[in-house]
Amino acid sequence: MEIIKTRQSRIDQVDFENLGFGEVFSDHMVIMDYRDGEWGEARIVPYGTIEVFPAMCSFHYGQMIFEGLKAFYTRTEAINIFRPQKYHERMNRSCRRLCIPEVSYDLFINALRELVTLDKEWVPKKKGYSLYIRPFIFATDSFLGVKVSETYRFMIITSPVGAYYKEGINPVKLITPGEYIRAAKGGLGAAKTPANYAATLLPAEEAKKKGFTQVLWLDGIKRKYVEEVGTMNLFFFIGDKLITPPLEGTILPGVTRDSVIHLAKEWKIKVLERRISIDEVFKTAKDGRLKEAFGSGTAAVISPVGEIYHNKKRVIINKRKIGPLSQRLYDEITGIQYGERPDRFGWCYLI
């Protein structure tokens, strides 16, 4: 792999005690180009601007995908990339949906390992902090007709990030989005692609203006079943069962969702992947059977839901506090990520 190192590291300008999310970027990045039917060699270059043509087709028609995973500085001073195989699998699934050529696991993990190793000083040492890794692929043909591109660029950039919630885990306030939908069956809902986010910006802005943290998406047809939150999958702990919407093509198959399911099953909690209507959420919240609700995602890990608004009605969940199961899942997942708890599922890739 060709590596061109930066002449002047920017690391001294970074306040590692006060990191936000995705605001600063490490010294280097990976670039790998696809042409003539194959991926070329990956190279590492200093982080910086890239030159592309204004007619680059992904600007115009959105043929692109991305991923988001994290590396952690562990107790034993190793760096742990968490579940890279699972994120890679999903990346290729997104590629297939967007007619983008897949990237082999070898190419993916080698590029990732080289980049994180070169920028290892950028992995924050503070507990709760991590190095966010953003691989992405975009179509690069310079052509304004609508068609599948013949050339692509794969890149990886990384960003040291702080704890997602600065004052500890605060339960979020969600609102259902009225007329808007995020995805419909057969569409792009299960692919990690920018178009899904573009569709959610306006509803999310309107929700924020009304004082809510995020939108709680309902299914696109009946507007009845709960799907997910902007960047998180959802779980409801009702009675002794943990319920989460099934992967039927409209929601993103979260890696954190998968980790939660594995742990809950290990703890002998019944996990049901089934549809759950917003009415069931309200009803079980009112009669006390809904004990906890939480979102799961790479950025925040576990994010308790404290309130939901729907059709001018409101429910408060677990007195707007984090519940014991949410806390236990958060502690266990972060414990494994920081190498403090045994990695019995083979989730850790240490470098």
Ligand X SMILES: *Cc1c(COP(=O)(O)O)cnc(C)c1O
In the region spanning residues 302 to 321, those forming contacts with ligand X, defined by CB under 6 A, are none
Q: Which is nearer to ligand X, 22 or 68 (CB)?
A: 68
How far apart are CB 86 and ligand X at their closest, in Å?
A: 8
How far apart are CB 302 and ligand X at their closest, in Å?
A: 10
Among 171, 254, 304, 306, binds ligand X (CB under 6 A): 254
Instruction: Confirm or reject binding of residue 232 to ligand X (CB under 6 A).
Output: yes
Alpha helices in 119-227 (DSSP H): 194-209
And the tokens for 240? 């002794």
Among 298, 303, 318, 326, binds ligand X (CB under 6 A): 298
Give the C-alpha separation, 191 to 211, whole Å.
29
Q: Which is nearer to ligand X, 56 or 91 (CB)?
A: 91
Among 177, 203, 297, 323, binds ligand X (CB under 6 A): 297
Residue 201 DSSP SS3: helix
And the tokens for 190? 């299960």
How far apart are CB 228 and ligand X at their closest, in Å?
A: 5
Each residue 192-211 as x (binds ligand X by CB under 6 A) or -, in order, gives x---x---------------
Looking at residue 280, its amino acid is E
- Kindly give the pairing relationship between strand 172-175 and strand 214-218: parallel
**Residue 75 dihedral angles phi and psi, to the nearest 5°:** -50, -35
Q: In this structure, what is the dihedral angle of CA atoms 74, 78, 81, 83, given to the nearest 10 degrees?
A: -80
Structural contact between residues 292 and 318, judged by C-beta atoms closer than 8 angstroms:
yes
Among 26, 158, 250, 256, binds ligand X (CB under 6 A): 256
CB proximity list for 112: less than 8 A, separation 6 or greater:
30, 81, 84, 133, 135, 156
CB proximity list for 201: less than 8 A, separation 6 or greater:
none
Sole window of 1-9, 94-102, 240-248, 296-304 interacting with ligand X (rule: CB under 6 A) = 296-304
Q: Which is nearer to ligand X, 44 or 71 (CB)?
A: 71
Instruction: Confirm or reject binding of residue 94 to ligand X (CB under 6 A).
Output: no
Instruction: Confirm or reject binding of residue 213 to ligand X (CB under 6 A).
Output: no
List contacts with ligand X (CB under 6 A): 68, 192, 196, 228, 231-233, 252, 254-257, 296-298
